[in-house]
Structure 1
């Protein structure tokens, strides 16, 4: 039996197990009767080999990010609680053996036996307000996903993951830095309010600060490179492909304006603006004329329905852009001569 479990363990780490094999492995590891098995002894040996000079804070952050990747690979298309909660401890232990997270856990006393991960995914046209275990508040934007542990440990990093857009009001705790992981970008605070825009397909990442101070870093090949310290009214825009960034000033009132149905766009191309409007209004755009892609706009829409928004864009184009709204199919077709 133990040999079979060891083989399953190796296959699991290699991503070669099917759901039935994973269930068998999780049930075995979750059984307290197997706590002293050779299997767990092997993990102790793996931990003992870790170098004492390891930067555990950084290892913990990177390890946790990879654990999330492993968990999400096996997570069903569910928008709520990870369904195998009773196996959560086993999942963490398995992934820990290969990531060095087990080493970090050994430095924390008492050692936690389980870390359950929760997640929330919003659909297009949807936004929600969430309260995290530390009482921090998150406003999650449309078409976004937030993943966080079911509880935070006092004195340890508060790590969460974001794909999409969210505005954070972080509970101050000097002993427990709050870190948001968004792809290769990392945003760290102690207690402040700020907005992150990090849709993987958009090619850009941005952080805008409303209150407090935020440290933004890039994670490249496991090494963190600090990009900037942001204070109220500052915004960092990072281009993922070019790997460069700019820091500019932002109106404090615009940092989280989308929470109150106000959307501000600055020198933005028409395709990128339409991409955002798709998420906000749960609508699909079809642009028939490619030269419209070169049009750029500065615009703010406050409490407008999509019809009113499109009419304002048409006027800003000098009435050269045309559009047709198909309400039944939630589609807007756009064409025209260009822009003003």
Structure 2
């Protein structure tokens, strides 16, 4: 064996992890990169019956990975300053998939389950009712919610609460009754409001809303965090989102509002329709609107108190609704903020150079753990850093 064989085996194991979690690689032959002793060792291992079944399963997966999947892997991460090609690593490691990778496959289920158990806090989604009572929700729940008079105002089914089918023919003169939905880090949830407006809440989001809207009054909701709104059109009742210092007023449209306390700006991304942005401190009826068109983002700078508008790729800002996270020319220090929300972990970066570096990348948070993502940055960009994960605390050095 060569002196570098241990390193090659280590690279093979890391690559196998990538393959089995993402399934985005084609089969390559790299026997010319190995010496005779290494090839002899591989052939011996490939002949062991204990690996036959696992290899046959792997071969079926690889045979379905066509050239376009290889291109998708290469495009998975593109550095803003320097592109790091994985071709050499892949050539060396692919031959070991049957040996190292398939050994790892036996631990795949435990790896995903155990790590997520350790990193994800089992904090419940909560719903605060109009009387102050707090209900814990699960993504598989099925139950009605009632008001003080015993009438059903909403119904939960799985990962959604629907208020649109309830009987809201009660006295319109009664004061509005609000529910407050809080979605912790690491989870998402959906709400259908009484007018049929759909709201998709991202991790770390709070939404306060009336269980029914009153005729003749604006449909107002209050939020902190990030949410995608698909507003039912009603020309008689504008829909207003209050996001701390920013107000968003619409009739019927689809847009995203991101208003996390730790962010320096409050962003509104318009997908379709039209919205008007205004300072929340202004009196209703005398606002100076900043009007957005589809494909534009309006950013309220918290420190400066002004709104800027620019064209954006809206897919970047809606990817989270499909379980993906997309970074486009984003500093690593800002990236770890988003990762902390997605995975419900606390991330401390002690590497100043890494923190200021910008990256473009896409990850599937449904199948990729926080460890997988940190390994991807380390492997693809070649930064000299290390990290540790203990419970829900991640430290980067």
* Bin for the TM-score computed over the shorter chain: 0.5 to 0.7
Tell me the alpha carbon deviations over residues 158-180 of structure 1, each in whole angstroms, 9 at most, x when there is no partner. Answer: 00001000001111111110000
Partners of 2:132 and 2:347 in 1: how far apart? Answer: 38
Partners of 1:82 and 1:240 in 2: how far apart? Answer: 31
Q: Which residue in 2 is equivalent to 1:219?
A: 280
Tell me the alpha carbon deviations over residues 313-336 of structure 1, each in whole angstroms, 9 at most, x when there is no partner. Answer: 22454332332333xx1222112x
Secondary structure of the structure 1 residue equivalent to 2:214: coil
RCO higher in 1 or 2 (8 Å CA, sep ≥ 6)?
Answer: 2
1:309 to 351, 373, 385: 373
Q: Which residue in 1 is equivalent to 2:184?
A: 123
Q: Which residue in 1 is equivalent to 2:129?
A: 81
Q: Which residue in 2 is equivalent to 1:266?
A: 328
Matches within 5 A, 1:1-340: 79-83=127-131, 112-220=173-281, 222=283, 225-303=287-365, 304-315=368-379, 317-326=381-390, 329-335=391-397
Partners of 2:356 and 2:373 in 1: how far apart? Answer: 19
Cα distance, 1:218–1:133 mapped onto 2, change above 3 Å: same
In the alignment, structure 2 segments of 5+ residues that lack a partner are 1-124, 134-146, 150-170
Secondary structure of the structure 1 residue equivalent to 2:196: coil
Task: Give the conservation status (yes or no) of the 8 Å contact 1:183–1:200.
Answer: no
Name segments (4+ residues, structure 1) moved above 4 Å.
84-88, 221-225
Cα distance, 1:202–1:252 mapped onto 2, change above 3 Å: closer
- Give how far 1:221 is off: 5.9
Task: Give the conservation status (yes or no) of the 8 Å contact 2:126–2:183.
Answer: no
Task: Give the conservation status (yes or no) of the 8 Å contact 1:209–1:255.
Answer: no
Partners of 2:297 and 2:264 in 1: how far apart? Answer: 17
Partners of 1:111 and 1:129 in 2: how far apart? Answer: 26
Higher radius of gyration, 1 or 2: 2
Q: Which residue in 2 is equivalent to 1:103?
A: none
- Give how far 1:84 is off: 5.1
- Give how far 1:253 is off: 2.7
Secondary structure of the structure 2 residue equivalent to 1:247: strand
Task: Give the conservation status (yes or no) of the 8 Å contact 2:130–2:179.
Answer: yes
Q: TM-score, normalized by length of structure 2?
A: 0.55
Cα distance, 1:84–1:261 mapped onto 2, change above 3 Å: closer
Say how many residue pairs are matched. Answer: 236
Cα distance, 1:111–1:170 mapped onto 2, change above 3 Å: closer
Cα distance, 1:325–1:87 mapped onto 2, change above 3 Å: same
Q: TM-score, normalized by length of structure 1?
A: 0.63
- Give how far 1:287 is off: 1.6
Tell me the alpha carbon deviations over residues 242-293 of structure 1, each in whole angstroms, 9 at most, x when there is no partner. Answer: 2233322222433311011111223322222111111111111122233433
Cα distance, 1:84–1:154 mapped onto 2, change above 3 Å: same
Secondary structure of the structure 2 residue equivalent to 1:153: coil
In the alignment, structure 1 segments of 5+ residues that lack a partner are 1-76, 89-109, 336-340
- Select between 153-162 and 304-313 the one with higher mean Cα deviation: 304-313
Secondary structure of the structure 2 residue equivalent to 1:79: strand
Tell me the alpha carbon deviations over residues 198-237 of structure 1, each in whole angstroms, 9 at most, x when there is no partner. Answer: 0123221001111111111112365765352112211112
